[in-house]
């Protein structure tokens, strides 16, 4: 990565501050944050249903969660394109839009929060919840005051892993987003096209910013997780 400084700091700054790079980095950051927020809610809900609810076919649904880890990312992009692309049976065409970026990232990061929260929910003692309910607490109150604080560290840890994955994701975006500069071109896709056109220095510069971005966010999430732990004690 030392190559990124080949043209001196001025060269690095020029490569990073060019409008296309700024737009791509901004899109990656915002889309990843949106995806993390959706995952935190949807992932917790899915884990809750998988642990506390009983229904037929639960085993199948449970193994479906791991599919995004097992499925190659390029295939993930193609599958989403089959349903949400121009010839999709729903009549919804998200291809080449910013919504497609979010959709692809949601697919590949699905397992992180679910798999982080699930074991904690399994271990959670029901007695506390029952005690609260017998004292007249409504279900939402029990969830907010008792369940959620216990799950928070796991939700944050899963979100952190999901964020790191979302920031660097490439394969699922290639076919689905169309790689349109200033609109749907994410940072990793920009780096790829820079490498292909021979601009290795520019690609290295954007890579450094991308690495810093995910590093800083992970640090922040780590801090947040620690502070929730302290609240407990």
Partner 1 sequence: MGRLAARGVALSYLALLVGVPVGLVFYRAFEKGAGHLWESITTPEAQHAFWLTCVMVAIAVPLNTVFGVLCGLVLVRQRFRGRALLSAAIDLPFAVSPVVIGLALILVYGNRGWLGGWLTQHGIQVIFAPLGMVLATIFVSLPFVVREVVPVLRELGTDQEQAATTLGATPLQSFLRITLPAIRWGVAYGVVLTTARALGEFGAVSVVSGKLAGRTETLTLQVEERFQAFDVTGAYAAAVVLALMALVTLLAMNAIKPKEAS
Q: Which residues bind partner 1 (CB under 8 A)?
A: 1, 3, 42, 45-46, 48-50, 52-53, 55, 61, 63-75, 78-80, 82-84, 89, 103, 106-107, 110, 161, 164-165, 167-171, 174-175, 187-189, 191-192, 195, 200, 203-204, 207, 210-211, 214-215, 218
Dihedral through CA 82, CA 85, CA 86, CA 88, nearest 10? 50
Closer residue to partner 1 in complex, CB, 48/128: 48
Closer residue to partner 1 in complex, CB, 96/192: 192
Distance CA 204, CA 224 (A): 30
Residue 136, burial from CB neighbour count under 10 angstroms (0-12, 13-18, 19+): exposed
Closer residue to partner 1 in complex, CB, 1/10: 1
- Span between the terminal Cα atoms of the chain, in Å: 42
- State the minimum distance, in angstroms, from the CB of residue 63 to partner 1: 5
- State the minimum distance, in angstroms, from the CB of residue 148 to partner 1: 13
- State the minimum distance, in angstroms, from the CB of residue 147 to partner 1: 13
Closest CA to 160 of 67, 224, 93, 65: 224
């Amino acid at each position: 990565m030392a190559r990124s400084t080949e043209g001196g700091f001025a060269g690095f700054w020029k490569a990073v501050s060019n409008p296309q790079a700024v737009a791509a980095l901004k899109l990656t950051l915002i889309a990843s944050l949106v995806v993390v927020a959706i995952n935190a809610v949807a992932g917790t809900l899915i884990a809750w249903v998988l642990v506390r609810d009983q229904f037929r076919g639960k085993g199948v649904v449970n193994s479906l969660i791991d599919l995004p880890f097992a499925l190659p990312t390029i295939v993930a992009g193609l599958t989403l394109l089959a349903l949400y692309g121009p010839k999709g049976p729903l009549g919804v065409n998200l291809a080449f839009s910013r919504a497609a970026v979010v959709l692809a990232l949601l697919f590949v990061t699905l397992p992180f929060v679910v798999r982080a929260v699930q074991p904690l929910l399994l271990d959670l003692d029901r007695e506390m919840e029952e005690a609260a309910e017998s004292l007249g607490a409504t279900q939402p109150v029990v969830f907010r005051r008792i369940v959620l604080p216990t799950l928070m560290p796991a939700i944050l840890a899963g979100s952190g892993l999901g964020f790191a994955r979302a920031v660097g994701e490439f394969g699922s975006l290639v076919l689905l987003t169309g790689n349109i500069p200033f609109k749907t071109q994410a940072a990793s896709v920009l780096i790829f096209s820079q490498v292909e056109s021979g601009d290795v220095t520019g690609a290295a510069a954007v890579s450094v910013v991308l690495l810093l971005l995910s590093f800083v966010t992970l640090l922040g999430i780590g801090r947040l997780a620690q502070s929730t732990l302290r609240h407990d004690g």
